[in-house]
A and B are shown apart, each in its own frame.
Chain A
Amino acid sequence: MDDKFHLLNHIRGNDDSIVIWLFNIGVEKKWNGIDSIIRDDKENTIVNHIEEINLLVTKKQDYMILRKPPLDSFVESLLDNGYEKPNFLCPKCEDETKSISELVLEDTELLDSLKKISSLKNVYFVPYGISDDEMEIAKACGLTLVGGTTKRSREVNNKIFSKEVAKKMELPRAKDFMCHNVDEIRESYDKLCKDYSKIIIKMPCNSSGQGMWIVDSEKKLKTVCMIIDRMSRTQNVEEWLVEGWIDKTLDLNIQVYVSEYGEVETFSVKEQIIEGTLYVGSVIPARINDEQYKDCIEYGNRIGHYLYEQGYTGVFGIDALVDLNGTVIPIIEINGRFTLSTYLSFVDVKYPHKMSYCFYLRAHGTCECSYDIVLKQLKNEQMLLEQQTCCFIYNAATLDSGLADGNVRLFCMLTGGEFESLDNQKKYIDKVLNTIVRGGT
């Protein structure tokens, strides 16, 4: 690299480097060759278009590769809320079954544009996660890739690796067993039940709640074993992680950046709202005390240095929790890539001393829905008062009812007030959204 590039300094507006951003969500499929067992094309299409969330961290000199350019009204709202509009680059082909990186690699004009940009000074390529495809784009276009390699990313994302890190670093953690079949899983369940009220079974390469089950009864265990048996028929999963469930007061997400030069910075601690095993939102700042916050920063930095020693660089996230005694349990799992939470990490800089609740809502209906319709309705309902700082929609494309056959997803940030009041506003917005898609009054 020409100068000492530091991604966080760039996002904070402290350098004039140019970053080419790529939101290649779903990169885990490339690492493991494992896809969801049940195919849900509409869901995949929606997920593809969460890409606009990346615009919460781009700078005006940057380039963002998107499947579709965002709506003018959405860009206007971003600018009104203090975000910056980068240059947009879009592949010609709109095939939703292909990853964004595959679309880039097939688009010679776009590759040529990237080559031209790479000849400028201090240009860096920052994808959501790194697989062979992103490495190939970087190589083909002469771009400096920020982050590790496919191999390192795949290793760091493995749930067994997370447990090994916790063990080697002697961090507080739950008891666990590695199992190779359902008989071993049943045995581990019996052992763990002596110390824990529930257990959690994880496929080592799971993501977004797929391949992860909370088991609190023999009946549930039987069902999960049936699913695992079923999965073994078509997917090559050799090991399963079975661990005790730690009762918690809240979930946390810790974001860490490791530069190419080994500088480690824990840059965000957020409270996560989880339903079952699925992430549904973030509360910023996390409702933890100073001591717990200090522990999170310390754990993040220690783990960052450890991963650097193992050859990992770039952004990673740690899912953690606070147990019933108030102790921070730092590694539930490590994500060696960006997560949706990463892009929300700088919200507190924009709204210091205020609480923000970022969440998403799903809706499905037969009536027309779009970003503009939802925005208009929220304005009518006086939800966008206070110069839009109280309610900000941070992804427009997923509100288009034409995108996934009437399935829409609203990504919203509510800022100001106590959590209970923000949560009530969330419920109200849910009603507004459902009224739009279902045509009620």
Chain B
Amino acid sequence: MMEEYLKNVLMEVLELDESTIEEIDNESDLIELGLDSLKAIELVVYIENEYDVAVDDDDLLIDNLATINNIINLINRYKD
């Protein structure tokens, strides 16, 4: 479920087409797909709203958002 939601959000934030989003897996490098600090903040607000979490500034690192697995780990840390 979380993966599916994240893929939908990534499709919008990174402006990816459906075929690209189908090809990416949980370890795909999102920076290679165009994630930068400008787009990352958009991603963060979507995540925070959807999962009702507030990520600390210290965790707002591009590396924490660089793969779907990294994003899932970040969300889970706050949900726990």
Count, chain B residues at interface, CB 8 A: 20
Q: Give the contacting residue for A230; candidates B32, B37, B48, B62; CB below 8 A.
A: B48
- A38 with B60: in contact, given A43-B36, A43-B37, A226-B49 (CB under 8 Å)? yes
User: Which of B49, B54, B65 is close to A38, meaning CB atoms less than 8 Å apart?
Assistant: B65
User: Which chain B residues border A38 with CB–CB below 8 Å?
Assistant: 37, 40-41, 44, 60-62, 65
In contact, A40 and B36 (Cβ under 8 angstroms): yes
B49 surroundings in chain A (CB, below 8 A): 226
- Chain A proximity mask over B35-71: 1 for CB below 8 Å, otherwise 0: 0111011101110110000100100111001000000
Confirm or deny: A71 has a beta carbon within 8 angstroms of a beta carbon on chain B.
no
Bound CA span A198–B37, Å = 23
Q: How far is the CA of A233 from the CA of B57 in the complex (A)?
A: 10
The interface on chain A, measured as residues whose beta carbon lies within 8 A of the other chain's beta carbons, has a size of 22
Q: How far is the CA of A40 from the CA of B38 in the complex (A)?
A: 11
> Which of A40, A41, A234 has its CB near the most chain B CB atoms (within 10 A)?
A40
- Residue among B37, B49, B60 with most chain A CB within 10 A: B37
Residue B16 at the chain A interface, CB threshold 8 Å: no
User: Which residue in chain A gives the minimum CB-CB distance to B65?
Assistant: A38
With the chains together, A269 CA to B42 CA distance in Å? 34
Q: Give the chain B neighbours of A364 by CB distance below 8 A.
A: 29, 31-32
A41–B58 CA distance with the chains assembled, in angstroms: 13
**Is B48 a contact of A40 with CB atoms below 8 Å?**
no
Query: Is B41 in contact with A227, judged by CB distance below 8 angstroms?
Result: yes
CB distance from B41 to the nearest CB of A (A): 5
- Cβ of A39 within 8 Å of any chain B Cβ, yes or no, is yes
| Identity of the chain B residue whose Cβ is nearest the Cβ of A363 in the assembled complex | B32
Contact A210 B45 (CB under 8 A): no
Distance, CA A231 to CA B46, complexed state (A)? 13
Q: Which of A37, A223, A234, A407 contacts B37 (CB 8 A)?
A: A37
A230 engages B41 (CB within 8 Å): yes
A210 close to B44 (CB less than 8 A):
no
7 A-B pairs whose Cβ atoms sit less than 8 Å apart in the complex = A37-B37, A38-B65, A42-B62, A226-B46, A229-B45, A230-B45, A234-B57
Closest 3 CB pairs of A and B: A40-B62, A38-B37, A38-B40
Residues of B within 8 A of A (CB): 29, 31-32, 36-38, 40-42, 44-46, 48-49, 54, 57, 60-62, 65
Instruction: Give 8 new A-B contacts, CB below 8 A, not counting A39-B62, A209-B38, A364-B29.
Output: A36-B37, A37-B37, A41-B61, A42-B62, A223-B45, A226-B46, A230-B48, A364-B32
